[in-house]
Amino acid sequence: MSTGSVSLSAITALWPEVIAAIRERTANEPGVRLWLETPRVRPLELADGVLVIECPTALWAQHLRAKFAAALCAVYGERLGLPISDVQCRVTRAALRDHERAKQQAAQRAQPPAEPRPPVRARLRLLADFVVGPSNRLAFDAVQRLLEAPEAPINPLFIHGPSGVGKTHLEQGLAQAFRERYPASKVLYLRCEQFTNDYIEACAGGAEALNAFRVRVRHPDLLLIDDIHFLSKGQKERTKDELFATFEHLAAHGKKVVITSDAGPADIRYLEERFVQRFSGGLVVPLERPDPLVRCEVLRRRAREQGLELPDEVVDYVAQHITDSVRLLEGAVNRLAQFAHSFGRGVDLAAARHCLSDLLGRERGEDAVAMVKREVAAYFRLQPSDLEGRSRAGARAEARAVAMFVLRHITGQAYGAIGQIFGIRNHTSVLHACDRVRERRLQDSALDEFIEDLIARAKR
């Protein structure tokens, strides 16, 4: 067949068939739905071995070429019997108009925020925005108690927990609420690093500067020190002496101190016993990693703040995979909101999987084999150890087959090597198991989605 041009009607008629073939060939359902299967993307011409595709934006064109250029050349070439060497993308006004119209329609369908958002600036953290659940109830109630009854004898309040669970949110929210409830009071919020730097600068400035520093930090009615574990990054003897003297002065005058840390008082390196006793003599409360209820509510609430309604299946999916940090959950919502804005469409499960793929990988220090065993076992309600052995019946055999299929896909190891991981010596047993899983994926859409998602996350 000639390598000249092919009519627009011919390549347009083939377009649905080409998309279906690429979906099957790449096993990338979310990517195909996002970048190809949309009226804003369509073939324009095919001439001299170059396929031209219409796209709405330059970013879209970049992603389409990177992900699907080779597949488009191969599939169109097979269907037409022509050698196709390249894919070029053309950003047209018509496609851009369609894209902007779809974005406007999506924005109109989205639920507007309850109140107009303020101009872009650093987000003010309020206690009213803090999502309360079993994992953080104790810390939140302690902060509320201090706000409602500052005369209570508990002092200081020491809140500790891992990074990203809401310690800074609680301190900043308390500072703002305290100012509003007691307008005549003085409130000072400082990170421990800032306290250290300000003290060093004051010492370098002489007696007058040091006295001004002490007036500032020793006279508020409420002093909040964030991230006091900063003191563990070296000896900092003079800084610790100054900080301890500040705490003693405030306590002696009935002023309140709130402290946050990544670790409990006794676990902070280089922190002397005098600090440990002072902190332990107040109220030390943990702030745990967010529980499932908190994670889901954080996702819904932060999404609504950006005019985005997330389907329950998306909320559940993200909450199941981001479990350690509220901050990471908020970052995931920011990315989903930007996705919805940029591409003018709602966020379904496939889009969420694609958009957040780099955030939902393995746990810290976990290799691919351990992750696949853990995830597959959980899906079949088994223990990872249940996947090992030669049982050929029941859920154990099916789960083991799925795990072997996934590992074969992501590692490319020989069937024999995959079998050894599970205590199977015969490589043909692994081959037949993978064939069975491949057939099951065509019949069981839930299992197919689980495998596709697991492969994407385990590859990172």
Between strands 187-191 and 222-226, the pairing is parallel
pLDDT of residue 119: 38
Strand runs labelled E in 143-255: 157-160, 187-191, 222-226
The sign one gets for the Cα dihedral 307, 311, 312, 314 is negative
pLDDT of residue 138: 94
Of 3.30.300.180, 3.30.1490.20, 1.10.287.1040, 3.20.20.140, the CATH number of 8-109 is 3.30.300.180
On the question of a cis peptide bond just before residue 134, with omega within 30 degrees of 0, the verdict is: no
Secondary structure class of 289 (helix, strand, coil): coil
Residue 399: partners with Cβ closer than 8 Å, 6 or more residues away: 376, 377, 379, 380, 382, 386, 387
CB 19 within 8 A of CB 31: no
Residue 148 amino acid letter = E
Reported pTM: 0.59
User: For 58-94, how does the pLDDT look when each residue is reduced to its tens digit (9 = 90+)?
Assistant: 778 887 888 888 899 999 999 888 889 899 988 877 6
Instruction: For residues 410 and 421, give the distance between their C-alpha atoms in angstroms, rounded to a whole number.
Output: 14
Closest CA to 379 of 293, 451, 329, 307: 451
Half-sphere exposure of 45 (CA within 13 A, CB side): 6
Closest CA to 147 of 115, 173, 169, 123: 173
For domain 136-286, the CATH class is alpha beta
Furthest-apart CA pair in the chain: how many Å? Answer: 94
CB 157 within 8 A of CB 143: yes
**Beta-carbon neighbour count of residue 172 at 10 Å?**
18
pLDDT of residue 201: 92
Q: Which residues pair with 222 in a beta bridge?
A: 187, 256
pLDDT of residue 195: 93
Q: Which residues of 336-358 are buried (b: 16+ CB within 10 A; e: fewer)?
A: bbebbbebbbbbebbbbbbbbbe
- If you ran DSSP here, which 8-state letter would residue 156 be given? -
pLDDT of residue 178: 94
Closest CA to 160 of 133, 188, 136, 191: 136
The H or E element that residue 233 is part of is none
pLDDT of residue 2: 47
385-388 long-range CB contacts below 8 Å, 24 or more apart?
A: 387/422, 388/422, 388/423
pLDDT of residue 380: 85
Quickly list H helices, 344-421.
Answer: 349-355, 368-379, 394-411, 415-421
User: How far apart, in Å, are the Cα atoms of 90 and each of 40, 52, 87, 164, 231?
Assistant: 12, 7, 10, 43, 56
Closest CA to 332 of 374, 290, 377: 290
Domain 292-355 fold: Helicase, Ruva Protein; domain 3 (1.10.8)
Residue 13 amino acid letter = A
pLDDT of residue 172: 93
Secondary structure class of 45 (helix, strand, coil): strand
pLDDT of residue 427: 84
**Beta-carbon neighbour count of residue 237 at 10 Å?**
10
Of 1.10.10.10, 2.40.50.140, 2.30.40.10, 1.10.1750.10, the CATH number of 368-458 is 1.10.1750.10
pLDDT of residue 26: 80
pLDDT of residue 258: 96
The H or E element that residue 283 is part of is strand 283-286
pLDDT of residue 102: 61
User: How much of the chain is helix, strand and coil, in % rounded to 5?
Assistant: 60, 10, 30
Burial class (CB in 10 A: 0-12, 13-18, 19+), 385: exposed
**Domain definitions of the chain by residue range:** 8-109, 136-286, 292-355, 368-458
Q: Which residues of the chain have pLDDT under 70?
A: 1-4, 94-124, 233-235, 358, 360-366, 390-393, 459-460
